[in-house]
Amino acid sequence: MELLKKRISEDGRVVGQDVIKVDSFLNHQMDIALLNEIGKEFKRRFNGEDINKILTVEASGIGIACIAAQYFNVPVVFAKKTESRNLDEEVYESKVFSFTKSKNYNIKVSKRYLNSEDRVLIIDDFLANGCAAAGMMDIVRQAGARLVGIGIVIEKGFQNGGKMIREAGVRLESLAIVESIKNNSIIFSEEKKGENNK
Ligand code: 5GP
């Protein structure tokens, strides 16, 4: 998605060897016009698929998933990371290692909001080693729901998450794939002709 790649090139910042900060438009301040285009692009890519629910994880995924959901006309369920007395007792739960915080946490989804009738699209902001995606895939599996695909805004192609998901036979649509980071600049994967990219 050219608009997104242009924005990452202009406003993204590299931290250390492998972290991309996009706080000015995605992870802190949010550019809603851009998020609308991202939502439309997810809809374009998954058009015709039988999706009745979008699953994401708090916090950064929520805004992206909610805007995309308006184009799919489906509800969003977000996995909770924080302990809360408000959460139902009957939950699906999975352990996730956080790439940015370097620690494990549990994600939980109430059994009320995901079941074997559901056809789920997972949406998240970044894909690095795939731990967050694997946790959500595990929750979809526990619910007996059907995983239709995974939509990612920024995939870091030099980490293993994309490979893991594709090898699991799951449809993965990443709107921008970063191939490498060299001398603080972000290099994107070449899009192959005929690929489902804009
Ligand atoms: P994974 O679980 O795939 O290793 O990492 C994905 C999660 O970690 C995403 O939900 C995102 O919140 C965070 N993350 C991973 N890499 C980056 C990055 O380079 N920049 C930012 N802002 N978040 C990242």
Chain segment 149-197, per-residue pLDDT in tens: 999 999 999 999 999 999 999 999 999 999 999 988 999 998 654 444 4
So what's the pLDDT on residue 84? 76
Cβ of residue 174 lying under 6 Å from some atom of ligand 1: no
Pocket perturbation via mutation, ligand 1, pick of 55, 96, 97, 126 by most ligand atoms within 8 A of CB:
126
So what's the pLDDT on residue 99? 84
**pLDDT lower than 50: segments of the chain:** 193-198
So what's the pLDDT on residue 184? 86
Sheet strand arrangement including 76-79: 76-79, 53-57, 119-127, 146-156, 172-182, 185-188
**Nearest ligand 1 atom, CA 20:** 19
Cβ of residue 51 lying under 6 Å from some atom of ligand 1: no
So what's the pLDDT on residue 146? 98
So what's the pLDDT on residue 100? 84
Cβ of residue 128 lying under 6 Å from some atom of ligand 1: yes
So what's the pLDDT on residue 194? 43
So what's the pLDDT on residue 191? 66
